[in-house]
Amino acid sequence: MSPAAAAAVQPGASLRAVAVTRRFGGITALDGVSLELRPGEVHGLIGPNGSGKTTLLNLLSGYYEPSEGAIALGNEPLERAPVQRRARLGIGRTFQKPRLLPTLTVLENTMLGAWPHARAGFVETAFGLPRAAREDQAARSRATELLHGVGLGHALARRANLLEHAEQRFLEIARALAARPRFVLLDEPAGGLSTDEIDHLGGILGTLREAGIGVLLVEHHTDFVFRVCDRVTALDLGRMIREGTPAEVRHDPEVIRVYLGA
């Protein structure tokens, strides 16, 4: 997040959804759901299709506003904050279907993620003032490190539209990390990944946890979620049915009914 934002939010602050409800026309996608994402914690969000997982993620990241309830980062209310403001406050995300800039390279796509740290504006950049070049260089080296870190070091100069599916997913994660986020919200990052790739993803999530980043993991792969998460929230038809440790959630009778009975 940007230096100014870092000063504004106290360390250790959680990203919270408090009793949020979201309606679309006549449909209630989320009904009174609360969730707390703490720094240094991997929090899983599971539920069948239509349970409201992505809606909740969109509410936290700012693409929707809640019909009722509150979104907050620490003490700072966020319901009205647009997506860009949340990015500056250190909330990053990936998408269910990877959204990349196809004509740019992997490295350039990742560097884009460092936007909140680019202070040099349009005029300053146009006139070739040194700050823009400096920031670009810093973004480039950081992006290089991140890409090697997630396993894309071999593809730095490749155009993004030539990437395989797993590479696209990992690129999105690297891009989210380029902004030095406090929180990363991942929308079904394991979708379409092989077993090995899912293991790698788990390793990356562990590293994020150790770095003190709060990770929200929206996923269908329930085994994976129970394996890597510290806490899990289970949704069904827009309502929260259980929140707790993986062990608690996986043995909850309601959760079992929803997943096995469905």
Partner 1 sequence: MSPEHRRLGLAALLALGAATLPFWAADQYQLHLATLIAAYWVLIGGLNLVVGYAGQLSIGHVGLLSIGAYGFAILAGKAGLHPALAVAASGALCGIAGLLLGLPSLRLPGFYFAMATMAVALIVGEVVLAQGELTGGGVGLPVPGFPAPFDSPAGFYWLTAAAAAAVTWLTWNVARRMQGRGLIAIRDSVVTAQAVGVPVLGAKLRAFVFSGVCAGVGGSLFAALQSYITPDTFHFELSLFFFVCIIIGGRGGILGPFLGVVVLTALPELVSPLAKLGNFFYGLLLLAVVLVVPEGIGRVFELVAARLKPRPVESVPVQPDLPRLARALRSNR
Residue ranges binding partner 1 (CB under 8 A): 61-63, 82-84, 87-88, 92-93, 95, 99-104, 108, 111-116, 118, 120-122, 125-128, 132-133, 135-136, 139, 142, 145-146, 148-155, 158, 162, 164, 166-167, 170, 175, 177, 179-180, 196-197, 200, 203-204, 206-208, 210-213
Which residue, 175 or 250, has its beta carbon nearer to partner 1? 175
Q: C-alpha dihedral over 233, 238, 241, 246, to 10 degrees?
A: -20
Which residue, 3 or 77, has its beta carbon nearer to partner 1? 3
CB 238 within 8 A of CB 17: no
Using a 10 angstrom Cβ sphere, with 0-12 exposed, 13-18 middle and 19 or more buried, the burial of residue 30 is buried
Q: How many CB atoms lie within 10 A of CB 40?
A: 15
Tokens of residue 126, six digits: 């146009």
Shortest CB 171 distance to partner 1, Å: 10
Which residue, 35 or 184, has its beta carbon nearer to partner 1? 184
Shortest CB 23 distance to partner 1, Å: 22
Shortest CB 14 distance to partner 1, Å: 17
200 to each of 17, 39, 148, 228, how far by Cα in Å?
29, 21, 13, 11
Which residue, 139 or 234, has its beta carbon nearer to partner 1? 139
Q: Which long-range contacts (CB under 8 A, 24 or more apart) does 97-100 make?
A: 98/165, 98/168, 98/169, 98/171, 98/172, 99/172, 100/160, 100/161, 100/163, 100/168, 100/171, 100/172
Amino acid symbol at 103: T
Shortest CB 45 distance to partner 1, Å: 18
**Shortest CA distance to 72 belongs to which of 45, 46, 34?**
34
Shortest CB 248 distance to partner 1, Å: 29
Shortest CB 59 distance to partner 1, Å: 14
Q: How far apart are CA 34 and CA 20, in angstroms?
A: 6
Which residue, 2 or 232, has its beta carbon nearer to partner 1? 2
Which residue, 77 or 203, has its beta carbon nearer to partner 1? 203
Which residue, 32 or 149, has its beta carbon nearer to partner 1? 149
Amino acid symbol at 149: G
Shortest CB 126 distance to partner 1, Å: 4
CB 215 within 8 A of CB 186: yes
